[in-house]
Amino acid sequence: MNTRIPMIAAGALLATLPLSVALAEDGYDAPADWPAPMAKHNMAMALFDRLEYAVPDKGHEELVWDFQAWYGGDINRVYLKSEGENVQGDGEDAEFESLELLYSRLIADFWELQGGIGYQGGVFSDDHAERGYGVIGLQGVMPYGIETDLAFQVSDEGDVSASFEGEYDLRLTQRLYLQPRTEIAVAASEAEAFGVGEGLNSVRVGMRLGYEVTRRLAPYVGAYWQKQYGDTADIARHHGDPTEDTGIVAGARLMF
Amino acid sequence: MARSSVITQPLSRRRLLKGGAALGIGSAAALGLRPAWADPWGQTNVYAKGVEEGPEVALAIRRESLEIDGQAARPYTINGESPGPMIRLKEGQDAVLRVTNLLDEPTSIHWHGLILPPDQDGVPGVSFAGIAPGETFTYRFPVRQNGTYWYHSHSGLQEQLGHAGPLIIDAAEREPFRYDREHVLLLTDWTFEDPMAVFRNLKTAEGYYNFQERTIGDFFADVREKGFAATAEMRGMWAKMRMSSRDIADVTGSTYTYLLNGHSPEENWTALFKAGERIRLRVINGSAMSYFDVRIPGLKMTVVAADGQPVQPVPVDEFRIGVAETYDVLVAPEDDTAYTIFAESMDRSGYARATLAPREGMAAEIPERRRIADRGMEAMGAHGMDHSSMSDSDMEGMDHSNMSGDDREGMDHSEMDHGGSMARESAKTRGNGMLAAGEAQPGSRYDQAGIGIDPNARRTLVYRDLKAFTPWPDRREPGRELELHLTGNMERYMWSFDGKTFSEVTGPIHFEKDERLRLILVNDTMMEHPIHLHGMWMELENGQGELIPRKHTLNIKPGERVSALITADAEGSWAFHCHLLYHMDAGMFRVVKVA
């Protein structure tokens, strides 16, 4: 029975009313060569939540991606997540702001606990500072339908940081939606090479207007505002980068 | 048209098919033709003959190219037809049904609603190993019942692609009603997508097929109608739960073409009659996922049987038919005119349609579809009844006392009466605290047809109306109660009993041989589930006391608590599941072992 404890625990979390009648534990007497009456299916899915070209007011134009893919069953999944950008015209390679491989487990109806390893740095080259990190996060849907991704990172240098992303789809018509989103980054210690200061790093707020041509393809346009704070802003100023910026984006949400 | 000429036509065609099937061919002859049982003249008492007539029937299963709604498709076919031929048996026969698998994958046929030995039930992994490619399996069972049933594959998602057909059993003795002609009306939902792709869409993207979600426009419309406070409160409740009140059907008309006897609404399959005749319509919902509301504008329908079992006549204007249910209705058109048989999907995203007419080529007006309804408080009914396992934050917002009378308006009023029925049904408990046999459970809503039905618009059949002619043989009170909760997670498309999918449970549900038990089903989800028990009848405790009806499939509305009495006389292992195909495949399936 002991091996079933994790399964039962998950079942209990999932059941809104886990009132189970006591049942005998023996199986039913199907011969071994019979198939299972119901197959168990693993699924896979890949999503570019954002694949967009950003034109900021002050900074450089960028190609930005926000990607995630998963494979697995109802409870246990493996995730591959990545966010990054390729700054246009700076002669440098694209950069993974994050590239993460995560194990994910459903711990409540709307919440997955995720943990794994991540990488930050250049995609093809060593144009950018690199670091590896461990990550633990919570991904899910908050009441009122706010899609949430909260993650804590500890880098190979021991730097601790956290990020929050939230977005919400407001349905204007069956295919047209308005999507406010926000990203907040904080850090417990400075990592200057990555432009990270201690404390609140940055806040980014955006709004996108998308049209679902199909459920799998939704081109959109949008605008954002972002600001850096405290030490992080100082680092940016030191590099001659703006600490507050607005911009417009055009791109698509793609699901495979 | 002379009757003799139109009656001989299906006979010759049937012979052709029978011969073809015996030779292992038979599909070519049928290409492009309507299913043979869907003959426009139906059957009369005088010419009571079927297409694949028992007791010995040969069925060949193939996957082949056929046109559906005028488009190229590759359905599963049975003797060259999709949906398959009608099988006609007679009560008292010993049926011999030879099913040959000409696919490159295993298959099976389950005889839905038939009481038969456990190894003849046709569920791979429960009753037998399945039918391997190239193999012929011979089903043999005594036919000891009569009425309107159906058959379908119980392998994977094959049923979605036309692997189903009607199964009619003629009564050995005179039935309690008479009719001059009969037609079989088989409702199905066809998709040109691969069913596995449909399943993946449901699993990976919630609301994939729902193009009737609430929009900002609906919000402002509600504000105008009910005021800001009431609207905000209601919407807030649903938003807080992260659910859609428009989640009426998982798979909708956005991918489905709803078929009646294999024909789309545009193709307008026609059932013929002569004015003054009394016609028996045997309506079967052979859909994978779709509930229908069936009506024939201009005609009163008299319901005379449910799930193949006779019931005392109920005159209605409309009835809701859950997936896998069957209803027999009588109609008696007096006029020499056409009538539309209109089967609107429960979420109003589409409809199936046929015409009942005195001549071919006629059509009557097609009614306008109703607007999709929003689920209201009733969907939370079961949650409200068992507070113990709900956290406080979940319960807030569901507190019925928060709702003023005004809030309730605008919502689907047909569903709103359950406070009243609870009080009414709290009586008649026995010494051991259990309700007396036949009494309705508190939390049942047998007097409501369900979501999207306005009880004031027309007379609609409700479960409360179903009343048997005579008491069923086992008069014992239940010896025990077995309570199962219907559970799910819409976000992940996980469906289960008691929170456990089939792959998570450790063993079967046990019924003791020959015990009389009460099965209580509590729907904790926000969707309807048609729950089907193989091998044994479920006597639906709808408050009709001794005359409760018996069914093979029970529709459990969201938040509802439904009970049925079962005589566990069928030794062996049986499937027990939600008959929504993708719910079953997602895990809402159990094995019942009677020993």
The residue that leads in pLDDT, B21 or A110, is A110
Q: Choose the closest CB to B204 out of A43, A145, A172.
A: A43
Check pLDDT > 90 for residue B329: yes
CB-CB contact of A113 with A105 (8 Å): yes
Mutation site for B-interface testing, chosen from A38, A43, A48 by largest number of B Cβ within 10 Å? A38
Question: Tokens in use for A159?
Answer: 């730097």
Check pLDDT > 60 for residue A2: no
Query: Which pLDDT band holds residue B170 (cuts at 50, 70, 90)?
Result: very high
Q: How many CB pairs under 8 A join A and B?
A: 158
* Cα–Cα dist B434/B427, whole Å: 11
From chain B, the residues in CB contact with A23 under 8 A are 506-510
* DSSP secondary structure letters along B52-109: EESSEEEEEEEE--EEETTEEE--EEETTBSS-PPEEEETT-EEEEEEEE-SSS-B--
Q: What is the CATH number of the domain that holds B129?
A: 2.60.40.420
- The pLDDT of residue B571 is 96
- The pLDDT of residue B409 is 37
Percent of chain B clearing pLDDT 90 (strictly above): 76
Check pLDDT > 80 for residue B230: yes
Mutation site for B-interface testing, chosen from A4, A13, A17 by largest number of B Cβ within 10 Å? A17
Check pLDDT > 80 for residue B145: yes
Check pLDDT > 70 for residue A207: yes
- The pLDDT of residue A54 is 96
A156 touches chain B (CB under 8 A): no
Percent of chain A clearing pLDDT 90 (strictly above): 71
In a domain, B304, yes or no: no
Other C-beta atoms lying within 10 Å of the C-beta of residue B322: 25
Check pLDDT > 50 for residue B43: yes
User: pTM of the prediction?
Assistant: 0.87
Check pLDDT > 70 for residue A78: yes
- The pLDDT of residue B377 is 78
- The pLDDT of residue B37 is 54
Q: Answer yes or no: do A17 and B487 touch at CB < 8 A.
A: yes
Q: B350, B353, B361, B336: which is closest to B273 by C-alpha?
A: B336
In a domain, B201, yes or no: no
Residue ending a domain, among B132, B154, B174, is B174
In a domain, B502, yes or no: yes
Q: Mean pLDDT, to the nearest integer, of B117-126?
A: 97
Asked if the peptide bond before residue A35 counts as cis, ω within 30 degrees of 0, the response is: no
In a domain, B122, yes or no: yes
Q: Answer yes or no: do A34 and B239 touch at CB < 8 A.
A: no
Query: CA of A246, closest CA in chain B: separation in Å?
Result: 27
Strand runs (DSSP E) across B307-399, as ranges? 309-316, 318-321, 326-331, 339-345, 351-357
A171 touches chain B (CB under 8 A): yes
Q: A137, A136, A129, A192: which is closest to A159 by C-alpha?
A: A192
Q: Mean pLDDT, to the nearest integer, of B332-360?
A: 96
Q: Which residues contact B460 (CB under 8 A, 6 or more apart)?
A: B293, B316, B317, B318, B319, B320, B449, B453
In a domain, B368, yes or no: no
From chain A, the residues in CB contact with B201 under 8 A are 215
* DSSP-assigned letter for residue A214: B
Q: Choose the closest CB to A11 out of B124, B201, B500.
A: B500
Residue ending a domain, among B139, B174, B209, is B174
Query: CA of A207, closest CA in chain B: separation in Å?
Result: 16
- The pLDDT of residue B319 is 98
Compare all CA atoms of chain A with the CA of B124 and give the residue at the minimum distance: A37
Check pLDDT > 60 for residue B125: yes
- Residue B86 belongs to domain spanning: 45-174
ipTM here: 0.87
pLDDT tens digits for range B370-380: 999 999 877 77
pLDDT tens digits for range B247-289: 999 999 999 999 999 999 999 999 999 999 999 999 999 999 9
| Token pair 């509802």: residue | B560
Query: Which of helix, strand or coil describes residue B285?
Result: strand
Check pLDDT > 80 for residue A13: no
Mutation site for A-interface testing, chosen from B203, B204, B388, B509 by largest number of A Cβ within 10 Å? B204
Q: Answer yes or no: do B494 and A74 touch at CB < 8 A.
A: yes
Check pLDDT > 60 for residue B544: yes
From chain A, the residues in CB contact with B501 under 8 A are 74
Amino acid code (one letter) for B22: A
From chain A, the residues in CB contact with B205 under 8 A are 45, 215, 255
Please, what is the average pLDDT of chain B? 86
In a domain, B92, yes or no: yes
Query: CA of B534, closest CA in chain A: separation in Å?
Result: 14
* DSSP secondary structure letters along A159-209: -EEEEEEEE--EESSSSEEEEEEEEEEEESS-BGGGTB-SEEEEEEEEEEE
Q: Across the strands, what pairs with B6?
A: none
Residue ending a domain, among B134, B152, B174, is B174
In a domain, B143, yes or no: yes
Q: A111, A28, A32, A48: which is closest to B590 by C-alpha?
A: A28
- The pLDDT of residue B8 is 33
In a domain, B451, yes or no: no
Q: Answer yes or no: do A215 and B125 touch at CB < 8 A.
A: no
Please, what is the average pLDDT of chain A? 88
* Cα–Cα dist B284/B148, whole Å: 8
Compare all CA atoms of chain B with the CA of A109 and give the residue at the minimum distance: B489
Query: Which pLDDT band holds residue B48 (cuts at 50, 70, 90)?
Result: very low
Check pLDDT > 90 for residue B462: yes
Check pLDDT > 50 for residue B15: no
Domain count, chain B: 2
Check pLDDT > 50 for residue B173: yes
- The pLDDT of residue B38 is 56
Q: B184, B179, B167, B173: which is closest to B330 by C-alpha?
A: B179
pLDDT tens digits for range A20-48: 333 333 456 688 889 999 888 899 999 99
